[in-house]
Amino acid sequence: MLTGKTALVTGSTAGIGLGIARALASQGAQIMLNGFGERGEIERACSEIEKIYNVRVMHHPANLMHANEIYEMIEWTGAQLGPIEILVNNAGIQFTSPIDEFPRDKWDAILATNLSAAFHAIHDTLPFMQRNGWGRIINIASVHGLVASVNKAAYVAAKHGLVGLTKVVALETAGMGITCNAICPGWVRTALVEKQIEARALQSGLDLETAAAQLLLEKQPSRQFVSAEQIAQLALFLCSDAASQITGSAIPMDGGWTAQ
116 DSSP 8-state letter = I
Q: Tell me the torsion sign for CA atoms 133, 234, 14, 97.
A: positive
Residue tagged active-site, from 53, 107, 128, 155: 155
53 a catalytic residue:
no
Least CB distance from residue 259 to ligand NAD, whole Å?
Answer: 16
- Residue among 58, 67, 93, 206 that touches ligand NAD (CB under 6 A): 93
Identify residues 196-255 at the interface with ligand NAD (CB under 6 A).
none
What is the C-alpha to C-alpha distance for residues 143 and 136, in angstroms, rounded to an integer? 21
Q: What are phi and psi of 147, to 5 degrees?
A: -140, 170
Q: Which region, judged by CB under 6 A, interacts with ligand NAD, from 33-41, 72-80, 125-133, 210-218? A: 33-41
Binding-site member from 84, 91, 122, 157 for ligand NAD (CB under 6 A): 91
The H or E element that residue 253 is part of is strand 250-253
* Identity of the residue, 93 or 176, whose beta carbon is nearer to ligand NAD in the bound complex: 93
191 binds ligand NAD (CB under 6 A): yes
Closest CB to ligand NAD among residues 176, 253: 253
- Our CB check for ligand NAD shows the closer of 6 and 220 to be 220
- How far is residue 7 CA from its own chain's centroid? 13
Beta carbons within 10 angstroms of residue 241's beta carbon: 6
Instruction: Please say which residue, 6 or 34, places its beta carbon nearer to ligand NAD.
Output: 34
Cβ 27 vs Cβ 54: under 8 Å = no
- 131 exposure class (CB count in 10 Å sphere: 0-12, 13-18, 19+): exposed
Q: Which residues bind ligand NAD (CB under 6 A)?
A: 11-17, 34-37, 63-65, 90-93, 113-114, 140, 142, 185, 187-188, 190-193
Return the active site residues. Answer: 155
